[in-house]
Amino acid sequence: MNYLRPQRLDALARDYALGMLRGGARRRFERLLRERPAALVAVGAWQARFDALAASVPPRAPKPSVWQSIERRLFAPRAPQPGWRQWLSGRVAGGALAGLVLGGVLLHEQPGWVGLEPAQQTLPQSYVGLLVDADGRPGLLASSRRHGRLLTVKMLQPLALPAGRVAQLWALPKDGGAPFAVGTVPAQGQATVALADDAEKLFSGVARLAVSLEPAPAAPGATPGAPFVLSGHCVKLW
């Protein structure tokens, strides 16, 4: 089975990010994550998407009376029931509780499934980069629609940014040409970077993305003046 076919990889990455892969399927996919950067990037993209969906749903604490009512219905003492009636009662109660939990998870993670936003089963055609530090820890996730002019970046861990320095994002061409500046990124949190051109034109020939700490935002035609603190593959997801 070719796990790297775009639609299959996207579906596997989504299920892995949701924790739905089990047993041998999960072990095989984790081996793929270690061997193929595209798989790691696909998972990172889905995790970031789920994080954004979860953050968009404001927490609402139920009234105490709601929980009390549920507890009374599910766990109140009942007279013994003979045979199959007793077994069925326990199964129904357990199913109801499982349904409540599952419903909460779906509402939190996938509001599109319950009508809170348009459902979308696959990621749009995008360029995605997952950058890691010298120890291999994920530090930055960057993504842009294939023909978009905006790059969304999310810091996966805070970046130690000395005073008087900026975190400059660079694109490294596949042909070994000189890196070119993409924009500056924050030390933590999320940001949107305006691209100088269509993402397809900018990133179709790019193999990797990297971040260096520079004294000022890079001017057009500038090259990195400091070592890279984050770097990673830039891949297309389609």
pLDDT tens digits, 164-216: 999 999 999 999 999 999 999 999 999 999 999 999 999 999 999 999 999 99
DSSP state of 157: S
Q: Per residue in 136-145, pLDDT tens?
A: 888 898 989 9
Over residues 72-95, the mean pLDDT reads 53
Q: Given this model, what pLDDT does residue 115 score?
A: 39
Closest C-alpha to 211, from 128, 132, 149: 132
Q: Are 200 and 124 in contact (CB under 8 A)?
A: no
Residue with the larger pLDDT of the pair 38 and 141: 141
Closest C-alpha to 181, from 207, 154, 202: 202
Q: Given this model, what pLDDT does residue 160 score?
A: 92
Q: Residue 183: phi, psi to the nearest 5?
A: 160, 175
Q: How far apart are CA 42 and CA 77, in angstroms?
A: 49
Q: Are 43 and 50 in contact (CB under 8 A)?
A: no
Q: Given this model, what pLDDT does residue 123 score?
A: 59
Read off the tokens for 39: 């798989």
Tell me the domains of the chain and their CATH numbers.
6-56 (no CATH), 64-114 (no CATH), 126-237 (2.60.40)
Is-above-0.75 flag for pTM?
no
